[in-house]
């Protein structure tokens, strides 16, 4: 995998979300990267962070899944926020994650878990029965963070090409990648990007390139309300039970930019469209989220709705494999082809770790920063390409 021609590596990253942008960033930071000889291209169909990478909640934690990525990712996030002033540039701050239940009736002392903590001051005590501390972590604004990774990669020589990839092309014997076919934005013509390495990081759209990949799109709708940040403590509040007449599994993410991101659980009302530009929010679900906000907190009641949105998470569908085992990150039997897909709801969290590990796979021929052998659990990579 570490081999290259005298002309340097020609690396094409398919996908301009958090995984693709972090991969480009860490490739340009690798000691073996030579700007004058190596070429790195992020091939993105619509715009940088146009999918879930620009619309997620943005929670990160050292105890996330899978452990082999989470610990490394947490350290890298800490390094990045110090280097790039994440507090001011992309809303990085430490938070608590609380799991709460709705109060349907007066709770007895015996029904309150021993690990319960006091409710945040902005929540209605008569509407919420318990709050359990899940753990400490941090949050960041995913669109701002992903965009920064892309900008910093560009500053070191990577290029962003806007166009829809249609296929990866191989040598006559099928043993090596040779190029990527794509259609540039605003053009109907197919163009080719020469490639010594191809990193597939196209999220839920990855199967359009490799149809055998066990990935599907899982939609989540969300709204943003305008709320002064001083009115809300830095507590992310997750409801995993069904709020009466509203949507189940509501999640509240107060942000330091005078907004709160409120998301719904996964719904199966639509299938994955062909492009991020065609993703639409469900009006009914968004209205249910607004009603849930009114129900839970007087400080959220009647607030201006700034955004109604939806995105599709890349969820693996490997039989018998639990989500806790993380994404599919591996080299393939085809020389130069790397898979970095299926990060589900931990993409923002594990993006830096994935990017650093892919840079090692490409430049060194092996992953040195973490043991990623478990990330192919339940699947034979040879069957996917």
Render pLDDT for 73-87 as a digit per residue (tens, 0 to 9). 999 999 999 999 999
Render pLDDT for 236-263 as a digit per residue (tens, 0 to 9). 999 977 776 666 789 999 999 999 999 9
In angstroms, rounded to a whole number, what is the distance separating the alpha carbons of residues 367 and 360?
5
Place of tokens 């007895």: 108
Q: Please give the class, per CATH, of domain 10-76+142-214+320-383.
A: alpha beta
Contact 296, 289 (CB under 8 A): no
Greatest alpha-carbon pair distance for the chain in Å reads 73
Render pLDDT for 369-379 as a digit per residue (tens, 0 to 9). 999 999 998 99
Q: Which residue has the higher pLDDT, 250 or 108?
A: 250
In angstroms, rounded to a whole number, what is the distance separating the alpha carbons of residues 351 and 243?
32
Calculate mean pLDDT across residues 62-91. Answer: 98
pLDDT at 109: 47
pLDDT at 105: 55
Q: Give Cβ neighbours of residue 137 (< 8 Å, ≥ 6 apart).
A: 59, 60, 61, 62, 63, 64, 94, 95, 96, 97
Global confidence as pTM: 0.94
Query: What tokens does 82 get?
Result: 């110090």
Is a pLDDT exceeding 80 seen at residue 7?
Answer: no
pLDDT at 115: 66
Place of tokens 């972590």: 137
Is a pLDDT exceeding 60 seen at residue 4?
Answer: no
Mean pLDDT taken over the chain: 93
Domain spans in the chain, listed from the N-terminal domain onward: 10-76+142-214+320-383, 94-136+216-314
Q: Which residue has the higher pLDDT, 109 or 60?
A: 60
pLDDT at 128: 82
Q: For residue 328, which of 214, 176, 197 has the smallest C-alpha distance?
A: 214
Contact 329, 241 (CB under 8 A): no
Is a pLDDT exceeding 70 seen at residue 114?
Answer: no
pLDDT at 108: 46
In angstroms, rounded to a whole number, what is the distance separating the alpha carbons of residues 168 and 181?
6
Name the fold adopted by 94-136+216-314. D-Amino Acid Oxidase; Chain A, domain 2 (3.30.9)
Q: Give Cβ neighbours of residue 356 (< 8 Å, ≥ 6 apart).
A: 22, 26, 72, 76, 369
Q: How do strand 39-44 and strand 215-226 relate by DSSP bridges? A: unpaired
Average the pLDDT over each of 99-103, 175-179, 255-259 and give the range with the smallest value: 99-103
Render pLDDT for 322-353 as a digit per residue (tens, 0 to 9). 888 999 999 999 999 999 999 999 999 999 99
Q: Give Cβ neighbours of residue 244 (< 8 Å, ≥ 6 apart).
A: 102, 104
pLDDT at 3: 39
User: What percent of the chain lies above the pLDDT cut of 70?
Assistant: 94
Calculate mean pLDDT across residues 293-300. Answer: 94
Is a pLDDT exceeding 70 seen at residue 46?
Answer: yes
Contact 240, 249 (CB under 8 A): yes
pLDDT at 241: 72
Q: For residue 198, which of 163, 170, 236, 173 has the smallest C-alpha distance?
A: 170
Rg (C-alpha) for the chain, rounded Å, is 21
Calculate mean pLDDT across residues 297-314. Answer: 97
Calculate mean pLDDT across residues 46-52. Answer: 98
Q: For residue 147, which of 276, 52, 42, 16 has the smallest C-alpha distance?
A: 16
In angstroms, rounded to a whole number, what is the distance separating the alpha carbons of residues 90 and 86?
5
In angstroms, rounded to a whole number, what is the distance separating the alpha carbons of residues 27 and 201?
14
Other CB atoms within 10 A of residue 250 CB: 26
Is a pLDDT exceeding 70 seen at residue 134?
Answer: yes
Provide φ and ψ at 278, rounded to 5°. Answer: -100, 0
Q: Give Cβ neighbours of residue 231 (< 8 Å, ≥ 6 apart).
A: 122, 299
Is a pLDDT exceeding 50 seen at residue 381?
Answer: yes
In angstroms, rounded to a whole number, what is the distance separating the alpha carbons of residues 7 and 10?
9
In angstroms, rounded to a whole number, what is the distance separating the alpha carbons of residues 215 and 52?
15
């Amino acid at each position: 995998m570490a081999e290259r021609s005298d002309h340097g590596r020609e690396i094409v990253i398919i996908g301009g979300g958090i995984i693709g942008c972090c991969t480009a960033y860490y490739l340009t930071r690798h000691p073996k990267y030579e700007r004058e000889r190596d070429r790195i291209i992020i091939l993105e169909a619509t715009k940088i962070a146009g999918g879930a990478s620009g619309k997620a909640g943005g929670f990160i934690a050292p105890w996330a899944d899978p452990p082999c990525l989470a610990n490394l990712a947490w350290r890298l996030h800490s390094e990045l926020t110090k280097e790039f002033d994440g507090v001011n540039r992309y809303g990085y701050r430490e938070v608590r994650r609380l799991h709460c239940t709705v109060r349907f009736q007066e709770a007895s002392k015996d029904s309150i878990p021993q690990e319960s903590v006091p409710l945040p001051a902005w929540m209605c005590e008569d509407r919420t029965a318990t709050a359990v501390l899940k753990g400490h972590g941090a949050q960041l604004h995913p669109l701002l963070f992903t965009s920064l990774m892309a900008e910093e990669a560009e500053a070191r020589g990577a290029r962003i090409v806007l166009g829809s990839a249609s296929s990866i092309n191989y040598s006559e014997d099928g043993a090596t990648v040779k190029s990527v076919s794509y259609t540039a934005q605003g053009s109907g013509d197919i163009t080719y990007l020469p490639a010594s390495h191809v990193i597939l990081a196209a999220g839920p759209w990855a199967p359009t390139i490799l149809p055998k990949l066990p990935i599907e799109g899982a939609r989540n709708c969300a709204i943003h309300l305008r709320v002064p940040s001083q009115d809300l403590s830095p507590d992310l509040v997750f409801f995993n039970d069904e709020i009466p007449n509203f949507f189940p599994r509501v999640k509240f993410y107060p942000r330091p930019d005078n907004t709160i991101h409120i998301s719904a659980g996964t719904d199966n009302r639509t299938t994955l469209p062909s492009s991020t530009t065609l993703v639409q929010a469900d009006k009914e679900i968004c209205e249910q989220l607004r009603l849930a906000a009114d129900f839970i907190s007087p400080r959220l009641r009647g607030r201006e709705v700034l955004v109604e949105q939806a995105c599709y998470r890349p969820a693996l569908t490997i039989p018998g494999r639990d989500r806790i085992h993380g994404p599919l990150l591996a080299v393939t039997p085809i020389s130069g082809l790397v898979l970095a897909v299926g990060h589900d709801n931990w993409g923002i969290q594990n993006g830096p770790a994935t990017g650093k590990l892919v840079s090692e796979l490409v430049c060194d021929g092996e992953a040195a920063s973490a043991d990623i052998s478990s990330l192919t659990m339940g699947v034979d990579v040879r069957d996917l390409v």
